[in-house]
Structure 1
Amino acid sequence: MNTTTASAHDAFSPLRLQSRPLVWQVAAIVLGTLFLALSSYVEVPMVPVPMTMQTFAVTLVGALYGWRLGGLTIVAWLLEGALGLPVLAGGASGAAHFLGATGGYLFAFPVCGALVGWLAERGWNGNRVVLAFLAMLAGNLLCLVLGGAWLAVIIGFDSAVTHGVAPFIVGGVLKSALGAAVLKALSPRTSKAPAA
């Protein structure tokens, strides 16, 4: 018996995209990029990086799509932004955003989504809501670490922590809780026998 493989109950993929035909997967990528774009318009202006619902969407796409398809969907969304579609924070677009203060966060998104997807595939999902929260939190924190490191190169370590990491910690925790709640709501209902 292989103990490294998650059981059917633990392996959480309510969409079951990996087993669907290619056309379904392509449609999921398109819908995922739309969801990511919409999340970019929910914005609280902050300097030098605005607070959006992007990390919520990135971690949720990773958890629902799995690490491979989730990461690919996030990369597709970023390519749309780089090519000029208004899908980044506040409807921004263009390759310049990948070189400025937001670049580290943008490049971190596929890694964060893939991490959450990988954890979800291993049981850190809606079937275990505390682990789902921790998976979402890990994705959010990884984004802050990678984005903050990039920002530190541009504006210095202290300023990056003060303006690009610290203000987003509470939001990351709240978005992680919301993401875990969504995963719990989407998790398959299983009836358990009462304990004796």
Structure 2
Amino acid sequence: MRYDIKVNDKKFNVEIISAKPPLFEVSVNGKRATLIIEETQEVEAISGNEVRAEMAGTIVRIVVEEGEKVEKGQPLLVLEAMKMESEIAAPSSGVVKKILVKEGEKVNAGTPLILLDSGEAGESGDGEAITVAMAGIVTKVLKNPGEEVKEGEAILILEAMKMENPITTPFDGVVESVNVTEGSKVSPGDVVARVRRK
């Protein structure tokens, strides 16, 4: 597998030559290296909202339960950061699919806290939310409302940490809305688009 990666305006061509865990042989711009990766794990693709911490802190209270219906703006949990308590609210209406943290747990900025399934919000006809995991600037919008998309297809390009990251859909569907424009600044957890499953 080959990847083109851009870091600090420098381009790197990365190729995975062989993968025999824990040994991975890679080539970076033609130079070979062997990496030892002690632990890998598969993660489940998330469809719906992933509510993330905007800053490092400690989970003080969780005020919802798994399976509970929530409205947009409703508090989900309380995070203490810099000696202040902040409510983390639902970015959209939906159902609490999974709570990923416990009270008293310390989290970093960007840590996933709660999964919301906006596809189960009942009367709401909204598609499922596509969120961003990091702060950045939207450099390119690739899809418009009404366009069909395939699983893994990019909806827009987000520049973060001087790297361009495609924001993709986790399933086949139709773009219902795009909530940003080129040049928009976004924060972790922001809903940038909605896609309705086919």
TM-score range, shorter chain: under 0.3
Task: From the CA coordinates, give the structure whose radius of gyration is larger.
Answer: 2
More RCO (CA 8 Å, sep 6+): 1
Q: TM-score normalized by structure 1?
A: 0.26
Structure that is richer in strand per residue: 2
Structure that is richer in helix per residue: 1
